[in-house]
Structure 1
Amino acid sequence: MLEKKWWHEKAAYQIYPKSFCDTNGDGIGDLKGVISKLDYLKDLGVDIIWLSPIYCSPLADQGYDISDYYDIDPRFGTMEDMDELLKEAKARDMYIVMDLVVNHCSDEHEWFKKACEDPDGEYGKYFYIADTKDYKLPNNWRSYFGGPVWDLLPGHTDKYYMHVFHKKQPDLNWENPKLREEIYKMINWWLDRGVAGFRIDAIMNIKKPNIYTSYPADRDDGLAGIDNMLHDAEGIDDFLHEMKTETFEKHHAFTVGEVFTDRPDALEAFIGNNGHFSSMFDFAETIAGKSDDGWYKCKPVVWGEEYKKAAFGTQKRLGDIGFISNIIENHDEPRGVSHYIPEADVSDTSKKMLAAVNVMLRGLPFIYQGQELGMTNVAFHSIDEIDDCSTLDEYQVALDAGLTPEAAFKAVVPYSRDNARTPFQWDATANAGFTTGTPWLKVNPNYTGINAAEQVNRPDSMYHWYKELIALRKNPEYKDVVVYGEVVPYKEEQTNLMAYYRKGTDRTLLVVANYQHDAQDVVLPGTYKKVLMNNLETLDLNGDILHMPGYQVVIFEM
Structure 2
Amino acid sequence: MKRKWWHDKVAYQIYPKSFLDTNGDGIGDLRGIISKLDYLKELGIDIIWLSPIYKSPFVDQGYDISDYYKIAEEFGTMEEFDELLAEAKKRDMYIVMDLVVNHCSSEHEYFKAALADPDGPYADYFYFVKGIDGKEPSNYRSYFGGKAWEPVPGSDKYYLHMFAKEQPDWNWENKEVRDKIYKMINWWLDKGLGGFRIDAIINIKKDTSFPSYEPDGDDGLVSCVKMVEETDGVGEFLEEMKHETFEKYDAFTVGEVFNMKEDELREFVGDDGHFSSMFDFSALELTYGEHGWYDSKPVDFKRWREILFASQKEMEGIGFKANIIENHDEPRGASRYLPEYAQNEMGKKMLATTSILLRGIPFIYQGQEIGMTNCHRNDISEYDDISTKDQYQVAIDAGCTKEEALACCYENSRDNARTPMQWSADENGGFSAHAPWLAVNPNYKEINVSEQEGRADSVLSYYKELITLRKSPEYEETFVYGNVEPVYEDTDTVFGFMRMGKENRQKILVAANYGKEAVSLPLPGTAKKLLLSNAGRRKLADADHITLESLETAVVLLKA
**TM-score w.r.t. length of structure 1:** 0.98
Letter in 2 for 1:288: L
2:403 to 401, 406, 411: 406
Aligned to 1:283: 281
**Is residue 77 of structure 1 aligned with residue 76 of structure 2?**
yes
Letter in 2 for 1:206: I
Aligned to 1:355: 352
Equivalent residues, number: 555
Cα shift at 1:323 = 1.0
Letter in 1 for 2:174: N
Please say if residues 540 and 547 of structure 1, whose CA atoms lie closer than 8 Å, have aligned partners that are also in contact.
no
CA 1:403–1:211: 2 relative to 1, 3 Å: farther
CA distance in 1, matches of 2:237, 2:251: 18
Aligned to 2:189: 191
CA 1:104–1:145: 2 relative to 1, 3 Å: same
SS in 1 for 2:497: strand
Aligned to 1:548: 548
**Is residue 343 of structure 1 aligned with residue 340 of structure 2?**
yes
Cα shift at 1:491 = 2.0
Please say if residues 51 and 97 of structure 1, whose CA atoms lie closer than 8 Å, have aligned partners that are also in contact.
yes
CA distance in 2, matches of 1:238, 1:557: 45
Please say if residues 521 and 548 of structure 1, whose CA atoms lie closer than 8 Å, have aligned partners that are also in contact.
yes
Letter in 2 for 1:373: I
Letter in 1 for 2:546: L
Aligned to 1:250: 248
Aligned to 1:483: 480
Cα shift at 1:549 = 1.2
Q: 395-404 or 79-88, which moves further after superposition? A: 395-404
Aligned to 1:457: 454
Please say if residues 126 and 169 of structure 2, whose CA atoms lie closer than 8 Å, have aligned partners that are also in contact.
yes
Letter in 1 for 2:556: F
CA distance in 2, matches of 1:441, 1:367: 21
Please say if residues 139 and 211 of structure 1, whose CA atoms lie closer than 8 Å, have aligned partners that are also in contact.
no
Following superposition of structure 1 onto structure 2, how do residues 497-516 of structure 1 map, counting pairs within 5 Å? 497-504=494-501, 505-506=503-504, 507-516=506-515
Following superposition of structure 1 onto structure 2, how do residues 515-534 of structure 1 map, counting pairs within 5 Å? 515-534=514-533
Cα shift at 1:200 = 0.1
Following superposition of structure 1 onto structure 2, how do residues 11-410 of structure 1 map, counting pairs within 5 Å? 11-153=10-152, 155-303=153-301, 305-410=302-407
SS in 2 for 1:402: coil
CA distance in 2, matches of 1:189, 1:254: 16
2:419 to 418, 422, 429: 422
Please say if residues 204 and 260 of structure 1, whose CA atoms lie closer than 8 Å, have aligned partners that are also in contact.
yes
Cα shift at 1:284 = 0.6
Q: 402-411 or 28-37, which moves further after superposition? A: 402-411
Please say if residues 540 and 548 of structure 1, whose CA atoms lie closer than 8 Å, have aligned partners that are also in contact.
no
Q: 399-408 or 425-434, which moves further after superposition? A: 399-408
Please say if residues 527 and 544 of structure 2, whose CA atoms lie closer than 8 Å, have aligned partners that are also in contact.
no
Please say if residues 391 and 413 of structure 1, whose CA atoms lie closer than 8 Å, have aligned partners that are also in contact.
no
Letter in 2 for 1:88: E
SS in 2 for 1:14: strand
CA distance in 2, matches of 1:449, 1:492: 36
Q: 46-55 or 409-418, which moves further after superposition? A: 409-418
TM-superposition CA deviations, 1:284-317 (whole Å, max 9, x none)? 11111312411111122322x1321121010111
CA distance in 2, matches of 1:127, 1:110: 12
Cα shift at 1:262 = 4.4
TM-superposition CA deviations, 1:32-76 (whole Å, max 9, x none)? 000000000000010100000000000000000000000000000
Please say if residues 64 and 103 of structure 2, whose CA atoms lie closer than 8 Å, have aligned partners that are also in contact.
yes
Cα shift at 1:225 = 1.7
Please say if residues 210 and 227 of structure 2, whose CA atoms lie closer than 8 Å, have aligned partners that are also in contact.
no
TM-superposition CA deviations, 1:403-452 (whole Å, max 9, x none)? 22222222232100000000000011000110011100010111111111
TM-superposition CA deviations, 1:157-207 (whole Å, max 9, x none)? 522110000111000000000000000000000000111100000001000
Please say if residues 530 and 556 of structure 1, whose CA atoms lie closer than 8 Å, have aligned partners that are also in contact.
yes
TM-superposition CA deviations, 1:366-425 (whole Å, max 9, x none)? 000000000001111111111000011011111121222222222232100000000000
Please say if residues 104 and 171 of structure 1, whose CA atoms lie closer than 8 Å, have aligned partners that are also in contact.
yes
Please say if residues 140 and 148 of structure 2, whose CA atoms lie closer than 8 Å, have aligned partners that are also in contact.
yes
Stretches of structure 1 that go unaligned for 5 or more consecutive residues are: none
SS in 2 for 1:173: coil
Letter in 2 for 1:208: K
CA distance in 1, matches of 2:536, 2:74: 46
Aligned to 1:447: 444
Cα shift at 1:545 = 3.3
Structure 1 residue runs of 4 or more that deviate by more than 6 Å after TM superposition: none
Q: 344-353 or 239-248, which moves further after superposition? A: 344-353
CA distance in 2, matches of 1:355, 1:441: 26
TM-superposition CA deviations, 1:66-99 (whole Å, max 9, x none)? 0000000000001011001001001111000000
CA distance in 2, matches of 1:179, 1:410: 43
Q: Name the % identity.
A: 56
Aligned to 2:535: 536
Please say if residues 541 and 547 of structure 1, whose CA atoms lie closer than 8 Å, have aligned partners that are also in contact.
no
TM-superposition CA deviations, 1:265-285 (whole Å, max 9, x none)? 232011000100000000011
Q: What is the CA RMSD across the aligned residues, in angstroms?
A: 1.2
CA 1:392–1:30: 2 relative to 1, 3 Å: same
Cα shift at 1:256 = 0.3
Please say if residues 391 and 417 of structure 1, whose CA atoms lie closer than 8 Å, have aligned partners that are also in contact.
yes
Please say if residues 71 and 77 of structure 2, whose CA atoms lie closer than 8 Å, have aligned partners that are also in contact.
yes
CA distance in 2, matches of 1:486, 1:386: 42
Letter in 2 for 1:113: K
Please say if residues 315 and 362 of structure 1, whose CA atoms lie closer than 8 Å, have aligned partners that are also in contact.
yes
TM-superposition CA deviations, 1:528-551 (whole Å, max 9, x none)? 111000011347755633221111
CA distance in 2, matches of 1:176, 1:164: 18
CA distance in 2, matches of 1:380, 1:402: 20
SS in 1 for 2:546: strand
